A and B are shown apart, each in its own frame.
Chain A
Amino acid sequence: MSDTVQNYVPGEYPDQPPPIGQRGIMLWLKTNLFSSWINTLMTLFSIYLLYLIVPPLLNWTVFDAVINATSRAECREIDTGACWAFIANRINILTYGFYPDESQWRVNLSFVLLIAALVPVLFDNVPFRKFGLIYAVAYPFIAGWLLLGGLGLEPVGTDEFGGMMLNTIVGVTGITFSLPLGIALALGRQSHLPIVRTVSICFIEFIRGVPLITLLFVASTMLNYFLPPGTTFDLLLRVLIMVTLFASGYIAEVVRGGLQSIPNGQYEAANSMGLKYWQSMRLVILPQALKVSIPGIVNTFIGLFKDTTLVLIIGLLDVLGIGRSSLADTKWNGLSNEVYISIAIFFFIACFGMSRYSIYLEGKLEKGHKR
């Protein structure tokens, strides 16, 4: 009944901003932090906890930390915080293992090329994506040549691989090959052909019923009993195969969940159109099933990447193995915090990256095709 409302002709009322106190930062604070007395109490308690934790943590990791020193004793003389000098001192072996210094550019180059190969695979809006994808298919061979040598490059044995490089190789290989294998197993499990179905089910259930460490032990020792005597079979290659098979079992089950979420009508529509089995899978069923499976697939990949540290049990020196053994150095005694935190940061960056990418991908695929 107020006069201000009457000033406008019906249908001409202009858009107005909400009143003061109903917008902006004050509203956000009020609704999110101080909406009730319990909420206010929890807000204040949280601030107190942050006050207790954050300043000492920052002091230790940043302000009181030492970057340049030659021993732990020297670190302590300079300041009381973290002795990052140790990590700086060991960064080479933590990164490359025992890879020869003069050839380490090959590792760096293959890493840069890996990023270049990933971009066209992960993002569909990059220019020249077709060529990028062809290059991505060729990448494993290029990387294998760069890392192992031969054909004009100094050969390097896989026993010299180690550190973060080893984790990355095992992780990336496992992820790359377990996805197609896992999809094939998931389709095999749903197959109408009894032999294909039985083999797929047995394989998946065996893999899921056995710990990865057991498989790695099998890879490192028992495989020799099964192979003809005299065959040498690179230990790293065995590990790569085992990790890939292991992850593919899990991927298969995740993808099977996705496949089951696709209504029967989609199969019928694809069939009645005359699409062949592989066409209907590739064009109709899998794009939808994989979209549903993304969180589970990425979850498996993150688990796989972290499980690459298990190779230290069979004597491969990954970043964790090298970190642990470097703790034995008397000159740098007692710096386990620094070592394990650094390793944790390495894994966190990789796994968080994967997690963010999966969220990006879900968001992108969500657009438009709501059912």
Chain B
Amino acid sequence: MGETETVQHTPVASAAGDDDLIEIVDMHKWYGDFHVLKNINLTVKQGERIVVCGPSGSGKSTLIRCINRLEEHQKGQIRVDGIELTNDLKQIDAIRREVGMVFQHFNLFPHLTVLENCTLGPIWVRQTPRKDAEAAAMEYLEKVKIPEQALKYPGQLSGGQQQRVAIARSLCMNPRIMLFDEPTSALDPEMIKEVLDTMIALASTGMTMLCVTHEMGFARTVADRVIFMDEGEIIEQNVPEEFFGTPQHERTKLFLSQILGH
């Protein structure tokens, strides 16, 4: 566990500014005795698009799941939109309202139609009147290019369509931050593009995005910063050109050679 050196990058280590949406300071997490996340320090600014990559088991999913408290951290601080994550349920709910999440396995609600999936949160969490929620949902379904599926059930849709619905469902909550947990890993190759296109379109609207993915093409075109994690640590972070062009750390080089090598 000797290597704690992190290749620091200019915009990161600065003190908390006004436009910092996520601040993670000295954060650690254990599963039982297993130290999954070690000394995580990360600041995400309003509108920043960050791609997190790394070998499987490196803790990247766990990291973003800590940001909306699907996982609890045991040490250090996480502040989202100025609210600190503690055991206080009110604060957790407040944060979850502002943070949308898209999962690897979509996790749409199979007993509700696509439209109902999209309006559930706005109606029950934001107390939006049903009519307004439905109008907004249709708008987002149009943005992800599947308004015609609104009255179908998730089980009747292809994987790519389901993931686009999941993105629309998160957007319906008007989140300030979107977290993506390997959104294309469970998809057939021909459906990956439609989901990535949706995410690229979303990035162009200025949404703050934190995305765990193996899609390095996406990282190159969209990310403001690429973070490489291994064995629970942030090993290296940099702008994409530098990250892919001149990786600093041996493990980063090894990882990049493995996934870009063919």
Contacts and interface: CB of A to CB of B under 8 A. Distances in A.
B55 interface: no
B93 A274 contact: yes
Nearest to B154: A369
B121 A368 contact: no
A275 B107 contact: no
Contacts of B169: 273
Interface stretch (B2-10, B98-106, B235-243): B98-106
A272 B111 contact: no
Interface string A27-52: 00000000000000000000000000
A368 B109 CA distance: 12
Interface stretch (A220-228, A245-253, A261-269, A346-354): A261-269
A288 interface: yes
Contacts of A269: 101, 103, 107-109
Contacts of A341: none
A284 interface: yes
Given A265-B103, A369-B110, A371-B110, 16 more contacts: A263-B107, A266-B109, A268-B70, A268-B101, A271-B96, A272-B70, A273-B120, A273-B125, A274-B97, A274-B125, A275-B120, A275-B124, A279-B125, A284-B120, A288-B109, A368-B152
9 contacts: A268-B107, A272-B100, A274-B121, A274-B125, A274-B173, A279-B125, A288-B110, A369-B155, A370-B153
A149 B205 CA distance: 69
Contacts of B153: 368-370
3 A-B pairs closest in CB distance: A269-B107, A265-B107, A368-B153
B155 A279 contact: no
Interface string B118-141: 001100110000000000000000
Given A268-B103, A371-B155, A279 B124 contact: yes
A124 to B, nearest CB: 14
Contact of A283 (B70, B124, B154, B156): B124
Contacts of A270: 109
Contact of B125 (A275, A284, A365): A275
Contacts of B70: 268, 271-272
B208 interface: no
B101 A272 contact: yes
Contact of A369 (B93, B99, B111): B111
B252 interface: no
B68 interface: yes
Nearest to B126: A274
B230 to A, nearest CB: 25
A263 B111 CA distance: 13
A76 interface: no
Interface in A266-300: 266, 268-276, 279, 283-284, 287-288, 291
